[in-house]
Amino acid sequence: MMHNVVLVGCLLLSSLTAFGQSIRLTGRVEDTEHHPIPYASVALPDGAAGTATNEVGEFSLTVPALPQRLVALSIGYARTEVMATSAAPLTIILPASTVQLPEVVVRNPQRVAEDLVQRAYAQLVRHEKDTYYGKAFYRQKTRTNGTYDELSDAFYDVELTPQKIVGWELGESRYAAVAGPFHMKNFSTLMRLPTFTQHPKRGSLYLPLASDAAKRFTFTLREIQTENGRETAVIDFQPRPGIDKPAPAGTLYLDRQTAALRRQELHLRVGSMLAFTKGFQPLSDSLRLVSDFAPVADSLTRLASTRGELAVTVQTGNRPPVQSLISAYLLLYQYTGRLPSQAYSRVKHSADDLQMLQGRPYNAKFWQENEIIRASPVEESVIKSFEGRRVFGRL
């Protein structure tokens, strides 16, 4: 018997237009010890198109012609450029960034961190009305007691600001599920949490990028990462005791000179944002969200990707507890101008992803020919299994 879990919370994303009919490059991104680097960015130097590596460091990217220069990026590693001269698989090695904590900063790391966070917030607010458009890919999957029982993929055209995704249009999508304890109706609500808040509404989260954040969080400068002359301040934060709203712990990655936001990591409990079907008792939950931001100007960045993992343990009656891991990944693989054919419908807090996806027919040919995100070997076997059972498009 299936049960729905509905997310109630704060705050993507249409048709895929081929970047070109040209050449598909594949490869793997590794560190200097040859360990895979998951979720690294691999893109053209001008940012016109790009992709991200999967959980085992693999990527696939269509380019207009060869030879072609590619740029690989990941927080904590040095920016690396490679030249692809053929369609043979590439291996891109990223050296680690140099880590330091200068003596001048060590004297008062909390004050330095607070000042930098406030600069980052002020800059975001100054540009809050800046609007960007792009094409995004969203993948969500649920694994219960170690077995996949739900998978969905979708392409969106999106409208976004420095604060949040404000509009989307759904294009090609697919959804498959088999019998499981529950299914997520709108997990993207959590994936679309705003980057900063000016006036938190009642019941909403406190966020570390806010005008009065220093009253609600403690900030500590952990280290400075240096790569190619660029310094990134790594700042840990914790909610202060006794605050009156939910608040995450986590880490901010800020450009030390410009205060541009490069990454935000949030860790929090979301029990108050979950509504369970009658009879199910939540035992524990833990959400981790990581958002990466790509340069858009000398001192500005815009959302590039968000990945989230929600671990939930529930129990019904005297039955053994059920453990589920819901994971999702949103990638803006191409930035565009505003597309005249799209309305970019406003995003509702209670948008029902499941209902929208189930209303679309499954176009098997489209998915065989369009790999924006390369699935891991495990995911490929899961997808083939769902296809073999003819469950795509049905619950």
Instruction: Write out the residue range of the structural domain in which residue 164 sits.
Output: 4-11+98-388
Q: Are 138 and 12 in contact (CB under 8 A)?
A: yes
In this structure, is residue 17 part of a structural domain? no
Q: What distance in Å separates the CA atoms of residue 62 and residue 67, rounded to the nearest whole number?
A: 13
Q: Are residues 316 and 219 in the same domain?
A: yes
In this structure, is residue 393 part of a structural domain? no
Mention every residue, 6+ apart, whose C-beta is less than 8 A from residue 33: none
Q: How high is the mean pLDDT of the chain?
A: 84
Nearest Cα neighbor of 213 from 241, 239, 244 is: 239
Q: What is the pTM of this model?
A: 0.85
Answer positive or negative: Cα dihedral of 143, 3, 193, 61: positive
Q: What distance in Å separates the CA atoms of residue 238 and residue 381, rounded to the nearest whole number?
A: 40
Q: Are residues 126 and 193 in the same domain?
A: yes
In this structure, is residue 16 part of a structural domain? no
Q: 68-125 pLDDT, tens per residue?
A: 999 998 998 998 999 999 999 999 999 999 887 665 555 678 888 999 999 999 999 9
Q: 303-344 pLDDT, tens per residue?
A: 999 999 999 888 888 888 888 899 999 999 889 999 999 999
Q: Are residues 357 and 219 in the same domain?
A: yes
- CA torsion 20→377→380→388, rounded to 10°? 150
Q: Are 183 and 2 in contact (CB under 8 A)?
A: yes
Question: DSSP strand E in 300-394: where?
Answer: 300-316, 322-336, 345-346
Identify the pLDDT of residue 23.
Answer: 87
Identify the pLDDT of residue 102.
Answer: 60
Question: Where does a domain end: 94, 118, 150?
Answer: 94
Q: Are residues 31 and 153 in the same domain?
A: no
Q: Are residues 182 and 125 in the same domain?
A: yes
Q: Give the mean model confidence (pLDDT) for residues 190-196.
A: 91
Q: Are residues 178 and 315 in the same domain?
A: yes
- Ranges 49-53, 148-152, 212-216, most confident: 212-216
Query: Angle at CA 190, nearest 5°, toward 207 and 315?
Result: 115
For residue 45, what pLDDT band results from cuts at 50, 70 and 90? confident
In this structure, is residue 168 part of a structural domain? yes
In this structure, is residue 394 part of a structural domain? no
Look up the CATH number of the domain holding residue 71. Answer: 2.60.40.1120
Q: How many domains does the chain have?
A: 2
Share of the chain above pLDDT 70, in %: 88
In this structure, is residue 256 part of a structural domain? yes
Identify the pLDDT of residue 255.
Answer: 94
Q: What distance in Å separates the CA atoms of residue 110 and residue 112, rounded to the nearest whole number?
A: 5
In this structure, is residue 232 part of a structural domain? yes
Q: What distance in Å separates the CA atoms of residue 243 and residue 213, rounded to the nearest whole number?
A: 11
Q: Are residues 45 and 184 in the same domain?
A: no
In this structure, is residue 78 part of a structural domain? yes
Q: Are residues 291 and 360 in the same domain?
A: yes
Cis omega (within 30 of 0) for bond into 321: no
Long-range contacts of 292-298 (CB under 8 A, 24+ apart): 292/39, 292/41, 292/75, 292/262, 292/263, 293/260, 293/261, 293/262, 293/263, 293/264, 294/41, 294/47, 295/260, 296/132, 298/258
Question: Where does a domain end: 94, 125, 149?
Answer: 94
Q: What distance in Å separates the CA atoms of residue 359 and residue 194, rounded to the nearest whole number?
A: 28
Question: Where does a domain end: 94, 125, 145?
Answer: 94
Q: Are residues 49 and 102 in the same domain?
A: no
Q: Are residues 168 and 285 in the same domain?
A: yes
Q: Are residues 238 and 174 in the same domain?
A: yes
Q: Are residues 90 and 176 in the same domain?
A: no
